[in-house]
């Protein structure tokens, strides 16, 4: 049909004159190009069909190989080899599960121990702060008692002073501003007791501080050191 059309186009081109001839030649060229494209499309379709045929053959070969593999696996399973392999795999999985459970129990135990240690550290810190506060209060009380005691001693000495008589402390014979004894001065025994109470409070505060610092050490480290 295309050949017939080409023949008609050629006849039309020969019978035309002037501008009609150019139109005919253009139509002829378009027909030639259309024929070339048609032939190319036919060739492409043939190549595509050939590729699809090769693909189908490869797929069929692969399916056949898989079928043989499945058949062999089924025979091995039926003979017990597959069952033994599954049992071995299940045993390995169970062993790993037990190991992970043991690790988890160990981690949970360490976590509980760390939480207990953290609570102990917090409690010891609070006890240390209370002991330190008590020690500071005892030290302040002792300082006030000591000052009052020595002020009282100065007042006692001042009561014995007389104009023209040398002071037993400084040796002066003039006493323009003698010291006055406070109304409530502690005795020497009371001062000694206040000093002992202060020392005991400081020792307790130091002990609390040392215990708190020891509690800050990780439990695993304390066990290894002991």
> What confidence tens digit (pLDDT) does each residue in 68-104 have?
888 877 776 666 666 677 778 888 888 888 888 888 8
Structure token digits, residue 100? 């992970």
pLDDT tens digit string along 10-30? 455 455 445 666 776 777 778
| Dihedral over Cα of 161, 167, 170, 174: its sign | positive
Helix/strand/coil (H/E/C) assignment for every residue in 14-49 = HHCCCHHHHHHHHHHHHHHHHHHHHHHHHHHHHHHH
Cβ–Cβ under 8 Å, residues 186 and 194: yes
pLDDT range class, residue 58, cuts 50, 70, 90:
confident
pLDDT of 3 reads 45
Contact 220, 171 (CB under 8 A): no
- Distances in Å between the alpha carbon of 205 and those of 30, 130, 136, 214? 110, 8, 10, 14
């Amino acid at each position: 049909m295309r050949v017939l059309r080409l023949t008609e186009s050629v006849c039309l081109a020969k019978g035309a004159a002037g501008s009609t001839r150019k139109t005919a030649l253009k139509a002829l060229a378009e027909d030639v190009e259309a024929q070339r494209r048609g032939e190319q499309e036919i060739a492409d379709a043939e190549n595509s069909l050939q590729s699809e045929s090769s693909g189908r053959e490869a797929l069929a070969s692969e399916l056949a190989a898989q079928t043989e593999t499945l058949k062999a696996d089924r025979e091995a399973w039926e003979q017990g080899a597959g069952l033994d392999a599954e049992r071995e795999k299940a045993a390995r999985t169970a062993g790993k599960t037990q190991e992970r459970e043991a690790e988890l129990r160990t981690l949970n135990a360490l976590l509980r121990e760390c939480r207990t240690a953290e609570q102990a550290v917090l409690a010891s810190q609070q006890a240390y702060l209370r002991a330190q506060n008590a020690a500071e209060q005892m030290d302040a009380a002792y300082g006030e008692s000591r000052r009052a005691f020595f002020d009282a001693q100065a007042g006692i000495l001042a009561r014995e002073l007389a104009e023209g008589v040398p002071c037993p402390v400084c040796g002066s014979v003039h006493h323009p501003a003698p010291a006055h004894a406070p109304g409530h001065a502690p005795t020497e025994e009371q001062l000694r007791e206040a000093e002992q109470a202060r020392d005991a409070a400081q020792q307790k505060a130091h002990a609390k501080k040392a215990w708190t610092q020891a509690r800050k050490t990780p439990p695993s480290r304390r066990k290894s050191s002991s």
